[in-house]
Chain A
Amino acid sequence: MTTTPTPPVSAPTNPLFRLGLWWDGVIDRYNALPRLYKVVLVLAFALFVYALPLVRPPLIATDRIDFGGVMFACAAYALIALGLNIVIGYAGLLDLGYIGFYAVGAYTTGVLTSYHWAWPFFLALPVAVAVTMLTGVILGAPTLRVRGDYLAIVTLGFGEIIRICVKNIEWLGASAGIKDINHPNTIGPAPKPPFDPGGLFAIPRLEWNGITPSLDHEHATHFLVFGARDAIPYYWLLLTALIVVLLGDRLVKASRVGRAWEATREDEDAAELMGVPTFKYKLMAFALGAAIGGLSGAFYASSQSGYISPDSFPLATSFLFVAAVIVGGSGNRWGAMVGGVLVAYLPERFRDFADYRLLVFGLALTVLAITRPEGLLPPRRTRRAKMMEAEIEQLEEGPVDA
């Protein structure tokens, strides 16, 4: 009998697996770079992302709807996914009513800056975050003590109750909603319509004619005017918040806090018996998630239109948030953000499909649940475990007579 060499273990060929490997390659190559290169690379990437709505790359840019607005929505969903990823991905808590926190943040901002008071946006922002976080603690404290599916049910109820409450409470604007919510303060001279757009300076955007770009001074963005005309300054502001949250997320995850979350998610009993105060850490994850939801809600309320109503916060959108995290790859912050961006971007880019977006995402989720339950870009360790499984399978299936 000839000894056939064991076939080299090759990675499964499906494209999603390739995506994971490619991503690992990117991360590895990045990690191997000298510090200076890393800084330069990160700054270049950040600059590109900041400039994206001005560059308006062909194919990516939406032409029928304002691309700046789409980018704002993408950043908002990325921030939401990042927050929900702490709750679902890190701590393993299924929060189906995340939109409730988004609404609390938005309404706190609305009430403070317009409906009852006239606070400046940046004063209302921390209060909105604090109120939302407190809401999270109040909701989480009794429910997180109980194991099992309670949380999913309670949060589901919460998401709906918040909407019904604001719809019926006159003090919160009832079904008419709240309008004229304060925009963030403009930096530089204030615009004086109709002739002076204000701002310190104007940045023209690119106009593409096929593949030849030209400067479009007519649709310049005025730095830094927060008004109804232009969504791009809001995008920049939100992107900055997103980056700050992203950095914080990194630091906290890579610490005993992150370990406690992960251990609790893996095996709550074992975690407790190893000294992890699981309730405390679950509550922390839940409240942090809530606070980030409130943060995005506050930005949403004060964005271009400056208008919110109960209809802005349907429960269905809450499911989209969950879908974003799970499709993207629960537990991996980059995966979750990619999920958030996809959920926000695809319906805008392919307008015809916007009406069916819940249906399409539901289908995508179902297909994904069957073929790839860990999402598009799951944490590296999940991928590694999968790879190991595949290797073992392949070894077991290897030539029997060898």
Chain B
Amino acid sequence: MPDTAKLLEVDDVTIRFGGLTALDSVTFDIREGEILGLIGPNGAGKTTCFNVMTGVYQATSGQVRFDGAPLAKLKRHKITKLGIARTFQNIRLFKSMTVLENVMVGADAHSKVGFWDALLRTPRHRHTEEESTTRAKELLKIVGITARHDELAANLSYGDQRRLEIARAMATGPKLLCLDEPAAGFNPAEKVKLMDLIRKVRDQGYTVLLIEHDMRLVMGVTDRIVVLEFGRKIAEGAPEEIRDNPAVIAAYLGVEEDEDAS
């Protein structure tokens, strides 16, 4: 992987919930155009990391910088507008909205249309609406959702719901796309397809941060990997380095292997 510019820097971030230290002086960065894997056993702090990056939690100490500027105190929707988008480990779609509308909400993130545009049906409203609709349909095709666009999100199959989350996040036009266990609950074939999709997404110019439990998958798709355990970063490097890292094997692979065996 060429050394491109740093897109996001997690700088010595600590976050505590009462007595529990969910992230303990974690430092890593994400470079433009790469797929970075964030792995670690359950409860390691991966999702918490996403939450700090997207403004859901404030770091107890330390800083997250995006494009060189600190994110602290920025409102969540502003962070999204800056270019960080995410999916959720527990699917959080707008269930009573249609498939297309879900993606449109994402596309609206950069829309300048306001109340008066809508009320007076200004040309700006019309153009923006047309553009977002086209873009949303494109994205639905990219992620491979074949269901009707006017179907309610709640009525989609589990897999399509996961894919819809990705389309919705991509619609916000992010530079950095954060996927929180997007393949959870998928069968092996679906997983492979999803990883192909993630590669395709990166090739379109997005930077991807991927939380994934399945080690083999992460190895196959990522350029670099950061490993967390009990809120601490225990390793960072290329997939092959991580695979051979004794600390990682002890902390993570051992457990995973056992799980697979059972």
Contacts and interface: CB of A to CB of B under 8 A. Distances in A.
A379 B101 CA distance: 15
A254 B126 CA distance: 12
Interface stretch (A184-192, A274-282, A333-341, A359-367): A274-282
A385 B154 contact: yes
A90 B56 CA distance: 25
Interface in A244-279: 248, 251-252, 254-260, 262-263, 266-267, 269-278
13 contacts: A257-B113, A259-B97, A262-B101, A263-B97, A263-B105, A267-B92, A270-B92, A274-B105, A275-B80, A275-B81, A275-B109, A381-B152, A385-B152
B150 to A, nearest CB: 9
- Listed residue (B77, B104, B155) with the most chain A CB atoms within 10 angstroms of its CB: B77
A256 B125 CA distance: 9
Interface residues of A, number: 31
A262 B80 contact: no
B48 to A, nearest CB: 15
Given A256-B104, A267-B94, 17 more contacts: A254-B118, A255-B113, A256-B108, A256-B129, A259-B97, A259-B101, A263-B94, A263-B97, A263-B105, A266-B94, A266-B97, A269-B76, A273-B54, A274-B77, A274-B105, A274-B169, A276-B109
B152 to A, nearest CB: 6
Contacts of B110: 275
B134 interface: no
Interface string B161-178: 000000011001000000
A90 B129 CA distance: 20
B77 A381 contact: no
Interface string B71-94: 000011100110001101000111
- Listed residue (A256, A258, A271) with the most chain B CB atoms within 10 angstroms of its CB: A256
Interface string A364-394: 0000000000000001011011001000000
B200 interface: no
A77 B129 CA distance: 34
- Listed residue (A255, A262, A267, A284) with the most chain B CB atoms within 10 angstroms of its CB: A255
B21 interface: no
B119 interface: yes
A384 B113 contact: no
Given A263-B94, A269-B92, A382-B96, A274 B115 contact: no
Interface of B: 54, 56, 75-77, 80-81, 85-86, 88, 92-98, 101, 104-106, 108-111, 113-115, 117-119, 121, 125, 128-129, 132, 152, 154-155, 168-169, 172
Given A255-B129, A262-B97, A284-B115, A269 B56 contact: yes
Interface of chain A, helix or strand or loop or mixed? helix
Given A257-B115, A260-B108, A273 B81 contact: no
A275 B108 contact: yes
A211 B86 CA distance: 66
A276 B78 CA distance: 9
B115 A252 contact: yes
Contacts of B98: 381
B155 A274 contact: no
A251 B118 contact: yes
A250 B114 CA distance: 15
A257 B118 contact: yes
Interface in A83-121: none
Contacts of A284: 115
- Listed residue (A263, A269, A276, A385) with the most chain B CB atoms within 10 angstroms of its CB: A263
A384 B128 CA distance: 29
A273 B109 CA distance: 10
Contacts of B111: 256
B164 to A, nearest CB: 12
B172 A275 contact: yes
The 3 closest A-B pairs by CB, nearest first: A275-B109, A255-B118, A275-B80
A134 B101 CA distance: 31
B115 A384 contact: no
A105 B101 CA distance: 36
A285 B104 CA distance: 20
A273 B80 contact: yes
A277 to B, nearest CB: 5
A144 B158 CA distance: 34
Contacts of A381: 96-98, 152
A224 to B, nearest CB: 28
B126 to A, nearest CB: 10
A388 B94 contact: no
B125 A255 contact: yes
A262 B94 contact: yes
Nearest to A255: B118
A277 B111 CA distance: 12
